[in-house]
Amino acid sequence: MRIAIIFSTFLLFTSALYAESNNKIEQLIQKKLPQATVAVLVKDLKSNEVVYSRNAEKLLAPASSMKLLTAAAALYQLSPGYKFETRLMSKGDDVYIVFNGSPSLTSNDLTLLLAKLPKNIKGDLIVDVSHFKPPYYPSGTSFDDLGWYYAAPDTAAILDENAVAFKFISAKELGKPVQIKSQSPNNPIHIINEVRSVSAQTEKNHCNMNIDVLTGNTLKLYGCLTQYKDPLLMKLAIPEPVGRAKELIRDYLKQKHIILKGHIITGKVPADAKTISRLESPGLTQLVTHMLLESDNLYANSLTKELGYRVTGEGSYKQGVFAIKQILSKNTQVDVNKISVYDGVGTRYNLVTAEQMVNLLTDLYQNEELRSILLNALPQSGSTGSLKARMNKTVLNQLVYAKTGTLHDVSSLSGFLIRPGKNPLAFSIIINGVDKPIAVAKALEEEILLAVYGE
In order, the DSSP letters of 92-155 are TTEEEEE----TT--HHHHHHHHTTS-SEE-S-EEEE-TTBPSPSS-TT--GGGTTBGGG----
Give the span between the Cα atoms of 375 and 284, in whole angstroms. 15
**Non-local CB neighbours of 267 within 8 Å, separated by 6+ positions:** 96, 124, 126, 127, 128
Strand order in the sheet with 125-128: 264-266, 125-128, 94-98, 85-91, 274-280
Is residue 220 a contact partner of residue 214, using CB atoms and an 8 Å limit? yes
Task: Provide the pLDDT for residue 444.
Answer: 98
Identical fold, 20-80+285-453 and 85-133+241-281:
no
Q: How far is CA 114 from CA 42, 238, 275, in A?
A: 52, 22, 13
In this prediction the pTM is: 0.94
Using N-to-C axis directions, what is the helix angle for 438-453 and 2-32, rounded to 10°? 170
Rounded (5°) CA angle 363-366-367: 90
* 287 burial level (CB within 10 Å; 0-12, 13-18, 19+): buried
SS3 string, 347-398, reads CCCCEECHHHHHHHHHHHHHCHHHHHHHHHHCCECCCCHHHCCCCCCCCCCC
Task: Provide the pLDDT for residue 1.
Answer: 55
Is residue 385 a contact partner of residue 379, using CB atoms and an 8 Å limit? yes
Give the span between the Cα atoms of 438 and 33, in whole angstroms. 11
Going by C-alpha positions, the residue among 429, 424, 397, 391 that lies closest to residue 410 is 429
* 447 burial level (CB within 10 Å; 0-12, 13-18, 19+): middle
Residues 120-145 have pLDDT tens digits of 999 999 999 999 999 999 999 999 99
Q: How far is CA 62 from CA 211, 297, 367, in A?
A: 26, 14, 24
Q: How far is CA 429 from CA 29, 404, 405, in A?
A: 12, 10, 10
| Cα 51 versus chain centre, distance | 29
Task: Provide the pLDDT for residue 149.
Answer: 97
Q: Which helix (H) or strand (E) holds 302?
A: helix 297-312
What are residue 231's phi and psi, to 5 degrees? -60, 150
Task: Provide the pLDDT for residue 22.
Answer: 84
Task: Indicate the residue type of 5.
Answer: I
Say which CATH topology domain 85-133+241-281 has. Answer: D-tyrosyl-trna(Tyr) Deacylase; Chain: A; (3.50.80)
Task: Indicate the residue type of 431.
Answer: I
Q: What is the residue-level pLDDT of the chain in tens, covering all 455 positions? A: 555 555 455 445 455 455 566 889 999 999 999 999 999 999 999 999 999 999 999 999 999 999 999 999 999 999 999 999 999 999 999 999 999 999 999 999 999 999 999 999 999 999 999 999 999 999 999 999 999 999 999 999 999 999 999 999 999 999 999 999 999 988 999 999 999 999 999 999 999 999 999 999 999 999 999 999 999 999 999 999 999 999 999 999 999 999 999 999 999 999 999 999 999 999 999 999 999 999 999 999 999 999 999 999 999 999 999 999 999 999 999 999 999 999 999 999 999 999 999 999 999 999 999 999 999 999 999 999 999 999 999 999 999 999 999 999 999 999 999 999 999 999 999 999 999 999 999 999 999 999 999 76
Is CATH 3.40.710.10 the right assignment for the domain spanning 20-80+285-453?
yes
User: What 3-state class would DSSP assign to 239?
Assistant: coil
Task: Provide the pLDDT for residue 10.
Answer: 46
Each domain of the chain, given as residue ranges in start order, spans 20-80+285-453, 85-133+241-281, 143-237
